């Protein structure tokens, strides 16, 4: 017959021994609760003792997953900024695949001015912007944008996006990185 004594579950004693069975191995080191001095525990056990507080388990996340949630009213946005570096007003069409199914909208930029355009991330699809220089002109994809995490009421400043410049070349308007 075995000489091993059976142990009862003792929550307070388990914490003093630096083992909390209720957390199933998930630990985080925080300050001790009010009324208990860490120095007293340290002196009585001759070792550093930290208190373990179980993390909040999210609803429906069984299996020991810790709930890490971002605010629900924030989104990832792709942002581009287009500068008119010409001496003339430039009318451009701008669209993004994640905004209104990629519909192209016309804008006029005065010489020397800029405008930022933004579109939300939808699921796993990041926005891809495209620009055209008039009806029937080919779409020019913009390969890069700034990705920002902002509230649903976000409106970018004039220089928040990845910068592109409209220039006037030998074949008309062209777009380049700044």
| Residue 59 placed within a domain | no
Domain encompassing residue 25: 11-52
Q: Are residues 33 and 97 in the same domain?
A: no
Buried b (16+ CB within 10 A) or exposed e, 51-66: bbbeeeeeeeeeeeee
Instruction: Give a yes or no: residue 60 inside a domain.
Output: no
Task: Note the pLDDT tens digit of each residue in 135-156.
Answer: 889 999 999 999 999 998 899 9
CATH at residue 118 = 2.60.40
Averaged confidence pLDDT in the chain: 75
How is 59-101 classified by DSSP, letter by letter? TT-TTTPBP----TTEEEEEEEEEEE-SSS-EEEEEEETTSGG
Give the number of domains in the chain.
2
pLDDT tier, 59 (very low <50, low <70, confident <90, very high otherwise): low
Q: Assess whether 86 and 139 both reside in one domain.
A: yes
pLDDT digits (tens, 9 = 90+) for 66-110: 556 667 788 999 999 999 999 999 999 999 999 999 999 999 999
168 belongs to a structural domain: yes
- The answer to whether position 162 is within a domain reads yes
Contact (Cβ atoms closer than 8 angstroms) between residue 173 and residue 86: yes
Same-domain check for residues 27 and 109? no
């Amino acid at each position: 017959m075995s000489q091993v004594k059976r142990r009862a579950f003792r929550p307070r004693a388990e914490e003093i021994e630096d083992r909390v069975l209720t957390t199933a191995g998930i630990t985080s080191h925080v300050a001790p609760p009010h009324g208990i001095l860490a120095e007293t525990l340290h002196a009585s056990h001759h070792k550093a003792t930290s208190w373990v507080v179980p993390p909040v388990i999210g609803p429906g996340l069984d299996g020991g997953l810790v709930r890490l949630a971002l605010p629900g009213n924030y989104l990832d946005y792709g942002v581009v900024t287009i500068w008119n570096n010409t001496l003339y007003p430039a009318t451009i069409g701008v669209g993004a695949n994640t905004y209104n199914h990629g519909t192209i909208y016309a804008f006029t930029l005065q010489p020397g001015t800029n405008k930022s355009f933004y579109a939300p991330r939808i699921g796993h699809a990041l926005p891809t912007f495209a620009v055209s220089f008039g009806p029937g002109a080919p779409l020019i994809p913009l390969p890069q944008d700034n990705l920002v995490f902002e509230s649903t009421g976000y409106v970018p400043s004039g220089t928040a996006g990845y910068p592109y410049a409209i220039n006037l070349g030998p074949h008309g308007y062209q777009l380049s990185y700044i």
